[in-house]
Amino acid sequence: MDFPKRIKQHKSQSDSFAILLYRLRDLGIFRSATENDYGIDFEIEIIHEDKVIGRYLKAQVKGAEDLYIREDGIPTVGGIKQSTLLPCGSPTTMNLNRVL
């Protein structure tokens, strides 16, 4: 019997989700949004001083086998479509590089 094979991209995506959940576990309440893949993979409801404060972070997770660490210590990957990214520092984004 031929069983389905798990493709490399799905393994990478699962690993990326696990890393995000582990590293940001104290940030808030995680809700998966992967049923319709339109770019948002997680919604995180922010917790501040043990209170749900009505603020949200929406995250798109990218996985890659090749990781490059810049001189400033920021990890980067190639091949991400830049047009879908908001610049770090805009009111609707949060730079998580310091958290990760």
For residue 65, pLDDT over 80 is answered with no
For residue 36, pLDDT over 90 is answered with no
CA distance 92 to 47: 17
Better-scored residue on pLDDT, 12 or 79: 12
Q: Which residues pair with 43 in a beta bridge?
A: 31, 58
Q: How confident is the model at residue 94 (pLDDT cuts 50, 70, 90)?
A: very low
Residue 63 CA from chain centroid, whole number: 9
What percent of the chain stands above pLDDT 90? 12
pLDDT of residue 15: 84
10-45 burial code (b ≥16 CB/10 A, e <16):
eeebeeebeebeeebeebbebeebeeeeeeebbebe
Better-scored residue on pLDDT, 74 or 99: 74
